C-alpha cells in the first residue's frame, strides 16, 4: 500500500471513527486463516454443547474466543500480519503498535444482533489510541450480520453499555445517535474494517443458515498507560499498575516486528481471577496446560 493510500484511510478513520479497506487479504490467505480460526473455535468450544436458545442473550450474539493467537499458532500470522500492522500504525499515527487482544466472533446461524456499544469503556487503557480490525472470512451483508458504525461517534462521550448482562442496554446509544444513523458496511472476501475504540458500533442479526465467521484484533499505540482499576487479563497478567506503560508479554508489539519475527506467547500466571474457571470452561481464554 503506498503512502497516499495509507494517508487517505487515516483521514477517513480520524473523521468517521471507522474505515473500510477493501482487498487487504488474498483468497489464499483468507482460506488458510479462516481454517485456522475455525479450528481454534471448534477446539475451544468443544465442551459447550448448548443450543443457541439455551445461551444467554449476549452469547446469542456470537461465540467468543479470545487470545487464540497464543494456543493456535496457525492464527498468529494473521494477528501479526504486516499489512494490517502497517495500516493500524497509519490510522493511529503511531510508530509502534501493540496487541491488546484478539478474538474470534462467530455469529451462529439465527444469532442475535450485537447491540450498540463502544469498546473502550471495557478496557483499562488511559489513552484513546486504539483500533480494532474486523476480518470476515466470507462476504458480509445485512442478512449475515454485517457491522454498523455511527460516523463521528468516536468524538462523543464514552458510556459503559452492559451488553453482557442487560439486554436492550444498547438502545441508550441508539437513542443518543437518533439523528446520525449507523452506516452498515458490506464486505467482500479479503476486505477488513477498522474502528476506533470509542466509535459506537453494532452488528445485524444473522438471518442466514451459515455462521458468520469473523476474526478481530484490538491494537493500541505503544507507550499507552493503564488507565484504571477495571480488571483485564491484558494488563493483569503482567502486573501492570495504574499509570504504568502497558508493555508486557500479553500485549506484544505487532508493528514493526523486529527482524520480522513474531512473538511467542507468555504463560498465563495463576491470577485467581474469579471469572477464570468459567472463561476457560466456555473456551473464552486458553486452557491451562495439564
Ligand atoms: C460483532 O462482530 O458482532 C461485534 C464486533 C464488535 O463489537 O467489535
Ligand atoms: Ni465492539
Ligand 1 center to 47 CA (angstroms): 23
For ligand 1, whether the C-beta of 36 sits within 6 Å is no
Ligand 1 center to 290 CA (angstroms): 32
| Residue 276: band (very low, low, confident or very high) from pLDDT cuts 50, 70, 90 | confident
The answer to whether 245 and 225 have CB atoms below 8 angstroms apart is yes
Asked if residue 290 has pLDDT above 60, the reply is no
Ligand 2 center to 259 CA (angstroms): 32
Q: What is the best residue among 101, 203, 218 to mutate for testing ligand 1's pocket, by most ligand atoms within 8 Å of CB?
A: 203
The more confident residue out of 178 and 289 is 178
State residue 182's pLDDT score: 98
For ligand 1, whether the C-beta of 203 sits within 6 Å is yes
For ligand 1, whether the C-beta of 105 sits within 6 Å is yes
Asked if residue 49 has pLDDT above 80, the reply is yes
| Shortest-distance Cα residue to atom 7 of ligand 1 | 202
Buried b (16+ CB within 10 A) or exposed e, 212-247: bbbbbbbbbbbebbbbeeeebbbbbbbebeeeeebb
Closest by Cα among 118, 150, 151, 74 to 218: 118
Please name each of the domains of the chain with its CATH number: 3-261+271-281 (2.60.120.620)
Asked if residue 264 has pLDDT above 60, the reply is yes
Please give the grid coordinates belonging to residue 273.
481471577
For ligand 1, whether the C-beta of 132 sits within 6 Å is yes
State residue 175's pLDDT score: 96
Amino acid at each position: 500500500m503506498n503512502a497516499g493510500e495509507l494517508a487517505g484511510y487515516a483521514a477517513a478513520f480520524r473523521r468517521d471513527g471507522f474505515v473500510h479497506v477493501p482487498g487487504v487479504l488474498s483468497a489464499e490467505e483468507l482460506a488458510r486463516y479462516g481454517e485456522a480460526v475455525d479450528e481454534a473455535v471448534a477446539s475451544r468450544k468443544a465442551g459447550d454443547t448448548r443450543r443457541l436458545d439455551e445461551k444467554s442473550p449476549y452469547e446469542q450474539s456470537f461465540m467468543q474466543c479470545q487470545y487464540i493467537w497464543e494456543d493456535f499458532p496457525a492464527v498468529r500470522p494473521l494477528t501479526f500480519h504486516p499489512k494490517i500492522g502497517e495500516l493500524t500504525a497509519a490510522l493511529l499515527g503511531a510508530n509502534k503498535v501493540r496487541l491488546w487482544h484478539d478474538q474470534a466472533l462467530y455469529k451462529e446461524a439465527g444469532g442475535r444482533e450485537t447491540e450498540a456499544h463502544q469498546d473502550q469503556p471495557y478496557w483499562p487503557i488511559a489513552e484513546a489510541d486504539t483500533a480494532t480490525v474486523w476480518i470476515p472470512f466470507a462476504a458480509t451483508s445485512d442478512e449475515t450480520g454485517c457491522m454498523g458504525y455511527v460516523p463521528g461517534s468516536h468524538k462523543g462521550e464514552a458510556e459503559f453499555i452492559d451488553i453482557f448482562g442487560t439486554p436492550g442496554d444498547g438502545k441508550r446509544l441508539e437513542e443518543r445517535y437518533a439523528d446520525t444513523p449507523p452506516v452498515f458496511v458490506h464486505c467482500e472476501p479479503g476486505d477488513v474494517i477498522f474502528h476506533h475504540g470509542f466509535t459506537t458500533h453494532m452488528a445485524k442479526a444473522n438471518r442466514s443458515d451459515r455462521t458468520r465467521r469473523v476474526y478481530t484484533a484490538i491494537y493500541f499505540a505503544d507507550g499507552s498507560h493503564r488507565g484504571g482499576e477495571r480488571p483485564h487479563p491484558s494488563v493483569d497478567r503482567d502486573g501492570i499498575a495504574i499509570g504504568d506503560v502497558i508493555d508486557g508479554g500479553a500485549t506484544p508489539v505487532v508493528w514493526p516486528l523486529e527482524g520480522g519475527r513474531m512473538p511467542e506467547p507468555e504463560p498465563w500466571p495463576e491470577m485467581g481471577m474469579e471469572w477464570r474457571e468459567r472463561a476457560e470452561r466456555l473456551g473464552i481464554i486458553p486452557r491451562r496446560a495439564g
